[in-house]
């Protein structure tokens, strides 16, 4: 009872800073239960123990630059936690019940030993900033799309090869850092990131960018240095032979013939899966068989960036595909000159 009284009347302690105190053990006795901010930066702690649950008022917790390997499951009981920073530790996994941290807005686990983005992170619906830079992560889970409020996603310095299309669902994203990975291709769905201001792609294996990237009208910064980009790319346009099904479906779409009620469901699904040709002068569609073409586009009137476009099989596309000359089509120039900074030092 006395404890409850104290809990109601004591003002919450603003912050306790035990940075750089050479701590090797959790400082249990020194931590008042009503603490709201705790900093244990730059010590030699190896775990976040069960006792963390006693700090039920904690809102901000920084345990960066320690030797943390394990975070207790009790961590998930910190229901008021909004900022958790554990940079530069030795963390290989996160507690299963991390998803209970419903108020968490910022999670920074840069410089750890994580081999994947723990799936429970994708349940943190209030998360606005997620920092997993400098880990050993080799893939981005599609479930990341569930973090709808995410504004800052930092995945630089990992081993990611593929970016799932679901990243395009993060409509509130302002900054996406995928630098220093092994990415060869970006999904065209990235053009759905309408709020994006900064896209950092330097030090990857990109040979071209999806053409739709010029639709990112709020983009202010695009970093592309140290990618193969213009150095090695294929200029060959290869036409494929479409199947009879594809050919028939192309005609149905092209002539706008109603089809929902007269054909089997699997064909309806196939028809619904058509994608519009990137050529603004063509109203055709494609299904599986598409023509890939590189188009060089000026950014800021200074840099020519190779963008990949998908054309339908029936397109009248320019026969000259000289990568270093303009296509001459003004439609392909970015009309919204909002890009302020582009970093392509190796061009």
| Residue 202, token pair as written in the block | 């330097």
User: What does each C-alpha distance from 226 to 186, 206, 230 come to in angstroms?
Assistant: 16, 9, 11
- Binding status of residue 284 toward Zn ion by CB under 5 A: yes
Stretch that binds Zn ion, among 48-56, 105-113, 234-242, 282-290 (CB under 5 A): 282-290
Choose between 260 and 316: whose C-beta lies nearer to Zn ion.
316
DSSP state of 259: -
In this structure, what token pair is assigned to residue 168? Answer: 């395009």
d(CA 221, CA 177): 11
- Counting residues that bind Zn ion (by CB under 5 A) gives 7
How far is the C-alpha of 93 from the C-alpha of 52, rounded, in Å?
17
Decide whether 264 or 280 has the Cβ nearer to Zn ion. 280
Residue 69: CB atoms within 10 A of its CB come to 16
Output Rg (C-alpha) for the chain, integer angstroms.
Answer: 26
The reply to whether 291 sits near Zn ion by the rule CB under 5 A is no
Site string for Zn ion, 315-334 (x = CB under 5 A): x-------------------
Q: Segment near Zn ion (CB under 5 A), from 18-26, 151-159, 269-277, 332-340?
A: 269-277
C-alpha to C-alpha distance for 186 and 116, rounded to whole angstroms:
19
Nearer CB in complex with Zn ion: 152/317: 317
Task: Find the part of the chain contacting Zn ion (CB under 5 A) among 71-79, 147-155, 254-262, 273-281.
Answer: 273-281
The residues pairing with 62 across neighbouring beta strands, listed in sequence order, are 39, 85
Tokens 């996406």 correspond to 176
The binder of Zn ion chosen from 193, 216, 277, 342 (CB under 5 A) = 277
Span of 30-38, 140-148, 257-265, 284-292 interacting with Zn ion by CB under 5 A: 284-292
- Asked if residue 312 binds Zn ion (CB under 5 A), the reply is yes
Q: What DSSP letter does each residue of 14-69 carry, written as one string?
A: --EE-TTS---S--GGG--TTBSEEE--SS---EE-GGGGG-TT--EEE--SS---
The span of 33-41, 84-92, 175-183, 304-312 binding Zn ion (CB under 5 A) equals 304-312
- Under the criterion CB under 5 A, does residue 196 sit at the interface with Zn ion? no
Tokens in use for 215? 């639709």
For Zn ion, the closer of residues 13 and 282 by Cβ is: 282
Assess contact for 61 and 38: CB atoms under 8 A.
yes
Cβ nearer to Zn ion, comparing 187 with 284:
284
282 binds Zn ion (CB under 5 A): yes
**CB 282, min distance to Zn ion, A:** 3
| Minimum separation from the CB atom of position 323 to Zn ion (A) | 21
Q: For Zn ion, which is the closer residue by CB, 284 or 323?
A: 284
Q: Which residue, among 227, 219, 194, has the nearest Cα to 305 in the 3D structure?
A: 227
Pull the structure tokens for residue 238. Answer: 């290869």
Closest to Zn ion by CB, 68 vs 312, is: 312
Binding test (CB under 5 A) with Zn ion, winner from 223, 279, 295, 327: 279
Q: Considering beta carbons, is residue 267 or 282 the nearer one to Zn ion?
A: 282
Where on the chain is the footprint of Zn ion (CB under 5 A)? 277, 279, 282, 284, 311-312, 315
């Amino acid at each position: 009872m006395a404890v409850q009284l104290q809990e109601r009347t004591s003002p919450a302690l603003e912050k306790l800073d035990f940075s750089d105190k050479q701590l090797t053990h959790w400082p249990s006795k020194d931590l008042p239960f009503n603490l709201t901010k705790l900093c244990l930066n730059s010590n030699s702690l190896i775990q976040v123990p069960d006792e963390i649950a006693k700090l039920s008022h904690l809102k901000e917790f920084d345990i960066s630059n320690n030797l943390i390997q394990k975070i207790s499951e009790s961590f998930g009981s910190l229901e008021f936690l909004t900022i958790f920073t554990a940079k530069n530790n030795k963390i290989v996994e996160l507690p299963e019940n991390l998803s209970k941290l419903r108020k968490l807005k910022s999670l920074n686990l840069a410089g750890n030993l994580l081999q994947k983005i723990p799936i429970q992170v994708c349940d943190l619906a209030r998360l606005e900033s997620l920092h997993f830079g400098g880990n050993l992560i080799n893939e981005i889970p599609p479930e990341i799309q569930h973090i709808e409020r995410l504004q800052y996603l930092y995945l630089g310095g990992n081993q990611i090869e593929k970016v799932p299309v679901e990243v395009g669902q993060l409509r509130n994203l302002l900054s996406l850092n995928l630098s220093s990975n092994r990415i060869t291709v970006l999904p065209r769905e990235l053009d759905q990131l309408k709020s994006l201001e900064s896209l950092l792609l330097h030090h990857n294996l990109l040979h071209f960018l999806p053409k739709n990237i010029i639709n990112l009208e709020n983009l202010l910064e695009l970093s592309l240095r140290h990618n193969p980009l213009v150095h090695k790319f294929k200029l060959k346009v290869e036409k494929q032979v479409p199947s009879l099904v594809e050919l028939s479906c192309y005609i149905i779409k092209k002539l706008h013939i109603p089809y929902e009620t007269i054909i089997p469901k699997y064909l309806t699904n196939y028809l619904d899966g058509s994608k519009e040709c990137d050529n603004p002068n063509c109203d055709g569609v494609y299904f599986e068989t598409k023509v890939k073409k590189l188009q060089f586009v000026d950014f800021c009137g200074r840099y020519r960036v190779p963008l990949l476009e998908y054309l339908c099989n029936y397109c009248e596309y320019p026969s000259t595909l000289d990568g270093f000359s303009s296509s001459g089509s003004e439609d392909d120039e970015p009309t919204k000159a909002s890009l302020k900074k582009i970093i392509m030092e190796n061009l």
